[in-house]
Copies of this chain bind each other. A is one copy, B any other.
Amino acid sequence: MIILSKLADYGVIVATHLALAPDRQENAATVAAATRLPLATVAKLLKALAHAGVVSATRGAAGGYRLARPAAAISIAEVVAAIDGDIGLTQCSVHVDECAHTTYCPTRPHWAAINRAVGQALQAVTLDDMISPYAFLPPAAVQPAAELSR
């Protein structure tokens, strides 16, 4: 099973890319080219992220996106939640009343604890962590310029 949806996965990549140059303002097309993702999809993602307050958008000509906060203050959980919705293991973790078995289900109380553990695993990682430890990654990864000029 794959937990994150493709969109959420891509969303993290896009956010990470923006975290690389927090000062620059990039439009959707530029980000799409840099990440090699379909333009339309990137636009959709950026919009969702902007809606959640993770990135801020400036409209009009010469507009674009940039991180709304420093990269260290944005957790992966936030990015994922912006795209896939709130994270919860089971139905009852998110929408309490949308499961007919809530009344007698014996496992329900325990999910809360597991839920919290999973949530913390995602909240512990920030965008800053995603870009900083390039140490153990081969030099091929550290070349945003080459990506852009393609």
Q: Please give the count of copies of this chain that the complex contains.
A: 2
A109 on the B face (CB < 8 A): yes
Contact of A89 among B3, B13, B110, B140 (CB under 8 A): B3
Number of A residues, CB within 8 Å of B: 60
User: Which residues does chain B contribute within 8 Å of A124, judged by CB atoms?
Assistant: 117
Across the interface, do A114 and B148 meet the contact criterion of CB distance under 8 Å?
A: no
A13-B105, A106-B141 provided; 14 other pairs, C-beta below 8 A? A1-B88, A3-B88, A3-B118, A9-B90, A16-B106, A16-B107, A36-B101, A104-B141, A104-B147, A110-B125, A110-B130, A110-B133, A113-B136, A115-B147
Residues of A within 8 A of B (CB): 1-6, 8-9, 12-13, 16-17, 36, 76, 80-81, 84-91, 93-94, 96, 101, 103-107, 109-110, 112-118, 121-122, 124-125, 129-131, 133-134, 136-137, 140-141, 144, 147-150
